[in-house]
Amino acid sequence: MDYKSTMNLPQTEFPMRASLATREPEWLKYWEEIDVYGKTLEATKDAPPFILHDGPPYANGHIHMGTAFNKVFKDLIVKYKTMRGFYSPYVPGWDCHGQPIEHQVEKNLGPERMAEISRVDLRALCRDYAMRFVGVQSAEFQRLGVRGDFERPYLTLRPEYEAGNVRIFAELYRRGMIYKGSKPIHWCTRCKTALAEAEIEYGDETSDSIYVGFELIDPPDVFAAAGLPVSILIWTTTPWTLPANVAVTLAEDASYVGVVAGGKVLVFAEELVSQVAEVAGWERIEYVCGDDGEPARMRGSELAGLRYHQPIHADLEGVVITGPHVELSTGTGAVHTAPGHGEEDWLVGREFGLPSLMPVDDNGVFDGGGGRFAGMHVYKANPAIIDYLREEGSLLHAGTTSHSYPHCWRCKQKVIFRATEQWFVSMDHVDEGRPLREGALEAIGTVEWIPGWSVNRIRSMVADRPDWCISRQRAWGVPIPVFTCAACGETVANDETFEAVIRLFETEGADAWFIKDPSEYLPAGVTCPRCGGTTLTPEDDIVDVWWESGVSHTSVLDNYEELHRPAELYLEGSDQHRGWFQSALLTSVGAYNAAPYERVLTHGFIVDGDGRKMSKSLGNVISPLDVIEKSGADIIRLWAAAADYSQDVSISDEILDRTSEAYRRMRNTFRFLLSNLYDYEPSMAVEWEQMPEIDRYAMVKLADLVERVTRAYDEWKFHQVYRAVFDYCVVDLSSFYFDVLKDRLYSDAAGSLSRRSAQTVLSHILGALVRLVAPVLTFTSEEVWHFMPEKMREDLPSVQLAGWPVVEIPSAEEAARLRDSYRVVLEVRDVVTKALEDARNAKVVNKSQEAAIALTAPTDALDELTERGLEALAEMFIVSAVQIAEGDQISVAVEPASGEKCPRCWNYREIGVDPARPELCGRCAGVLADG
């Protein structure tokens, strides 16, 4: 007889091969057809809100693995919160203005076309470019399974968003936090614009390193007594800044000495003499000494006020001053000071009333103020300046040094410090309310920072940051919304002008600023407050792109009905502590005295398997689009969830292969569940009290899993979600419960209590597991959902609408007892499994069902085993028979089973118990007799 047809063998059309790359697009179409996003909002409209506010990526290219990781990360949080019963709309957004887009358009045009194009036409090309990639990236994010309002995203180029910039600017201006001034800022000579700290990348550079003597005009007697010219010895790595030198700064309390070298006296810090001697190659050090024979010494404060000949301009003099920024670890302790070329120099120059010379134009070329070097680019001037100093006899030594140096984030060229007139947000000055730095630092303390240590990063950045330079000399962006009087140059900005600009931007967009004359939209009667002039010129500069993205708390959270400020969560990479997180914080505190977010989560950068940054030159770039095409988006989503985002996240082909293998194990778990529920529906469920003990234990393990996974989601530890689910599938289910269950599922009567009990547990596992992984494996969970028995789906068209699983255990006391008991049982089972493996290798048995085992165990373990019963133990160990006895330790003896192999269930049992079926075991004979 063909007994196979009498068995309850697995049945399912759920495919073993995922074929995600081809199946996932079908689910995207399905979600669009049923409007799954709208349905989730409708289902949770009366629930507590949880708003994750999307930080805008640049609309300037295809997505990369970093943006893919970020968007998947956000999506799994939004989906989890929705399934947990929160109202969690997700409005994606794009940063459509700024240098990255304008730079690309400029490259496409070429230098000749760029020289001819008007600002209005350039802005139109930038708009077209940005909108094209908004469409491209929108499709790519959705292909990753990201759910949101992609029909109505926020774009920084839209009129309502642009108007939000003016609202925030107006409020900070009214409070006296915004000013126009001239001070050194990072300047990119390639992009011809000011840069904020957030637009700077640091990289190693090799720079010139020179030691130069500045000859004192009236040197102190103690050093002049040597009868030689006396110079202050400085050290600098930027020779090109020497034409702007106005002072030398010393450490006030440091000791300075005179050293005779090359026919002159060089004055510098005593603490650094040995370092300088080594660099200069001095075989011996000859000090200028006093009458007592000891080196003559003067404190920095005693040298202050001395004057010297400027090293480049013969007709100019410089002055010696003191400052707290002079340190004595390198150099000479005498700092060349050019207030037009450095923040610290500018600050000390302001304190001493020094001029801020700026002989460098927007292109990085010396103007007439560069003297003999006029017309040269600053970097090309370096060797010429060194040669000149050598000829003049003031150069002690020239070499090179390697150090970290700022570069433009977009064109990657080195930047310079250059004093220009710009618009700034003051961190410490205010006309109304508290200074911005003070308010921001307090607001940081009201926010939850994830991981916890990240609060130190944002706090130190805000505490130490200089005033924020918000003006840019570019075309593509939102203009600084102020005017200049054509007659006297006074700034014109007040409530009337701001409101007029807001209305203009809301109705016509920021392009109108560059097209219309102010008289067309400003109220009649707006005049210059100084001279009464009526001809006003709109500001040429645009706002910093970080300002633009930062004000999304107003332009988006306040403008979308379904959103609100503050958002429950901002989430971006850790570099945004100095970028979006900070600009959002400063603009929100400046305008509203509060942070724009309740919590901030940051993740690390994406690196290769060796921890290296992704780089085309290294050949280690992995495109998410390639991974999707080959393996499917759920592999990327599983990789993202499995990563510990608190540090840099590695990706490589090997890591993706491991992820795919983990996915396969999880998919097989779902296939087993589905294939054994083909004839089950919820009305067949077996009550807790009627379940075999092992089934009740499985329910306890499931409840523990749901609790552990839920806690991990709530604590933002998504890699623990992955680990818990994977271990559950592989260890608790595949290696134990499923293994034990197969005989009962396949061989017991279809409608028997034992089989229905097993199916009841499997249905609970399936219903919980598909929900637990739905935020991560968004496509696979939907596929599983649609293969589930119809009545288990509760008439819900998508797993995303299914809510979060709840597994109730009727008796907490029994659950605790089962955990303790099965901890012992599983420990013994591990020993049994090892013994069976050894027996198979020794050819004692071929399969575990052919074995009978004799167990010895200590008293405590023996009691637990005895309580289970020999038949249940044989089922759990998947052997024919079990004998147990007391012993000092757990040990197992394996021998061939005494029974015969049942041709139906393949177990070794007593055959012929039922005369009607003499070839079968009693269990199988009874099943056939009943059915």
For residues 836 and 189, the model is more confident at 836
pLDDT value at residue 438: 97
**What would the two tokens of residue 444 be?**
């940081």
CB 440 within 8 A of CB 585: yes
pLDDT value at residue 291: 86
Nearest partner of 902 among 893, 915, 911, judged by Cα: 911
pLDDT tens figures, 140-167: 999 999 999 999 999 999 999 999 999 9
Count CB neighbours of 534 within 10 A: 16
pLDDT tens figures, 476-513: 999 999 999 999 999 999 999 999 999 999 999 999 99
> Between the ranges 396-405, 613-622, 738-747, where is the mean pLDDT highest?
738-747
In this model, does residue 522 exceed pLDDT 80? yes
In this model, does residue 539 exceed pLDDT 90? yes
pLDDT value at residue 191: 81
**Separation in Å, CA 243 to CA 233, 317, 473, 732:** 17, 12, 25, 75
**What would the two tokens of residue 735 be?**
């290696």
pLDDT value at residue 625: 96
In this model, does residue 613 exceed pLDDT 90? no
pLDDT-derived band at 397, boundaries 50, 70, 90: very high
Write out the H or E segment, with its range, that includes residue 871.
helix 870-877
pLDDT value at residue 356: 87
For residues 183 and 656, the model is more confident at 656
Burial call 655-679: b when 16+ CB within 10 Å, e when fewer: bbeebbebbeebbbbbbbbbbbbee
pTM of the model: 0.87
pLDDT value at residue 151: 96
pLDDT-derived band at 10, boundaries 50, 70, 90: very high
What is the mean predicted confidence (pLDDT) over 634-662? 96
- Residues of the chain with pLDDT > 90, as a percent, come to 84
pLDDT value at residue 264: 96
In this model, does residue 196 exceed pLDDT 80? no
Nearest partner of 577 among 424, 444, 439, 461, judged by Cα: 461
* 305 alpha-carbon distance from chain centroid: 51
pLDDT-derived band at 280, boundaries 50, 70, 90: very high
In this model, does residue 565 exceed pLDDT 90? yes
| Residue 837 φ/ψ, nearest 5 degrees | -65, -45
pLDDT-derived band at 404, boundaries 50, 70, 90: confident
What is the mean predicted confidence (pLDDT) over 779-788? 98
Would you give the DSSP letter of residue 606?
E
Q: Where are the alpha helices (DSSP H) in 399-451?
A: 436-444
pLDDT-derived band at 243, boundaries 50, 70, 90: very high
Nearest partner of 807 among 778, 781, 772, 777, judged by Cα: 772
In this model, does residue 884 exceed pLDDT 90? yes
pLDDT value at residue 118: 93
What is the mean predicted confidence (pLDDT) over 880-891? 93
What is the mean predicted confidence (pLDDT) over 791-820? 95
Count CB neighbours of 167 within 10 A: 20
pLDDT-derived band at 770, boundaries 50, 70, 90: very high
| Residue 331 φ/ψ, nearest 5 degrees | 80, -140
Considering just the CA atoms, what is the radius of gyration of the chain in Å? Answer: 38
Q: Which residues make beta-bridge pairs with 886? A: 857
Place of tokens 């919160």: 81
pLDDT value at residue 193: 83
* Whole-number average pLDDT of the chain: 94
Rounded to 5 degrees, what angle do the CA atoms 604, 606, 609 make? 120
Q: Where are the alpha helices (DSSP H) in 332-453?
A: 343-352, 378-392, 436-444
Residue 404, judged by CB atoms within 10 A of its CB (0-12, 13-18, 19+), counts as exposed
In this model, does residue 272 exceed pLDDT 90? yes
**Which residues make Cβ contacts (< 8 Å) with residue 4, sequence separation at least 6?**
none
pLDDT value at residue 736: 96
The CB-side HSE value for 51 (13 A sphere, CA atoms) comes to 21
- Residues of the chain with pLDDT > 70, as a percent, come to 100
Place of tokens 């709840």: 806
The residue type found at 630 is: K
Signed CA dihedral, 21, 22, 27, 33: sign only: positive
In this model, does residue 411 exceed pLDDT 90? no
pLDDT-derived band at 741, boundaries 50, 70, 90: very high
What is the mean predicted confidence (pLDDT) over 121-136? 96
**Separation in Å, CA 642 to CA 19, 638, 724:** 21, 6, 10
Helix (H/G/I), strand (E/B), else coil: 335? strand
pLDDT tens figures, 336-357: 999 988 888 988 988 998 988 8
In this model, does residue 305 exceed pLDDT 90? yes
pLDDT-derived band at 190, boundaries 50, 70, 90: confident
In this model, does residue 256 exceed pLDDT 80? yes
Please tell me the distance from the alpha carbon of residue 835 to that of residue 841, in angstroms, as a whole number: 10
